[in-house]
Amino acid sequence: MITIREAARRLAAAGVASPENDARLLLRHAEATGADPEALVAARESRVPLQHLVGSAGFRYLDLAVGPGVFVPRPETEVVVEAVLAAIPDHPQPRVVDLCAGSGAIGLSVAHEHPSARVDVVEVSETAVEWLRRNLGALRDDAQERVRVHHADLEAAPTDVDGQVDVVVSNPPYVALHERDLVDAEVKDHDPGVALWAGEDGLDVIRRVVQRATVLLRPGGVLVVEHSDRQGESAPEVFAAAGLVAVSDHLDLTGRPRFTTGTRPS
């Protein structure tokens, strides 16, 4: 039986960022499920994402099922959920739309944590939608009833709430094509390309999200969009160019630029 110490040594040599933590989680998963610990460690050495190997990713208060074909949610995105919740604390039945929803991390968290939020989650990838529906099925019944899933392009759905949405939120693709070499192997080789690449400047999808949000949002409604830590100035410029006001950029818990907010004028 491979030890945590040996597994951690091998993972560190392979360039894994958190070798001891990953070794511990992999061996715990092997013990709990009967999986081959050697095979798990070898796969992680080859930079298969930890979350793919254990089948889930912790995100705020949820344990999300993830695997090949869906973007693995990151801890830094948790502050985006906080921004959404901060925008709707006094709304009795706020309406939220999550564009480019992936596994459902943001939208499902909002439904789970707000007692009456009505959430539309929109995702274009058929494989990602399958993971999203699986995660929706794990929510408590009252939260499930307040979520609608749309397998559609972000411009196509939802179709019945234009001008009525309190918050539009998105963690869209935002990696520029020339930044491929900056992306970790786990991301570049295993996260779906549709969730990563966004044109020459990384803003192609953010522009589409902003334009769609200007239609969905009610006057005074808020847009919240995650971006890379290299887009702390360029992403707000996209918001301002679309006519949004009170545009502001925000840092994540590591102090890096992480998301932009803006308001549709009243």
**pLDDT tens-digit readout, 22-54:** 999 999 999 999 999 999 999 999 999 999 999
Q: How much is the pLDDT for 102? A: 97
Q: How much is the pLDDT for 68? A: 93
Q: How much is the pLDDT for 195? A: 83
pLDDT > 90? residue 185: no
More confident residue, 199 or 100: 100
d(CA 49, CA 23): 12
Q: How much is the pLDDT for 194? A: 81
> 175: which DSSP letter?
B
Buried residues in 180-217 as b, exposed as e (16+ CB within 10 A): eeeeeebbbebbbebbbbbeebbbbbbbbbbebbbebb
Tens of pLDDT, residues 231-242: 999 999 999 999
Beta carbons of 74 and 26 less than 8 angstroms apart: no
pLDDT > 90? residue 214: yes
Q: How much is the pLDDT for 189? A: 77
What would you report as the CA-atom Rg of the chain, rounded to the nearest whole angstrom?
19
When pLDDT is averaged across residues 72-78 and rounded to a whole number, the result is 94
Q: How much is the pLDDT for 197? A: 81
ω before 94 within 30° of 0 (cis)? no
Give the percent of the chain with pLDDT over 70.
100
Calculate ∠ Cα 78-80-85, nearest 5°: 100
Q: Where are the domains of the chain?
A: 4-46, 75-263
* Dihedral sign for Cα atoms in the order 16, 173, 220, 240: positive
Backbone angles phi, psi at 59, to 5 degrees: -145, 110
d(CA 119, CA 97): 6
CATH of domain 75-263: 3.40.50.150
Q: How confident is the model at residue 103 (pLDDT cuts 50, 70, 90)?
A: very high
When pLDDT is averaged across residues 199-204 and rounded to a whole number, the result is 92
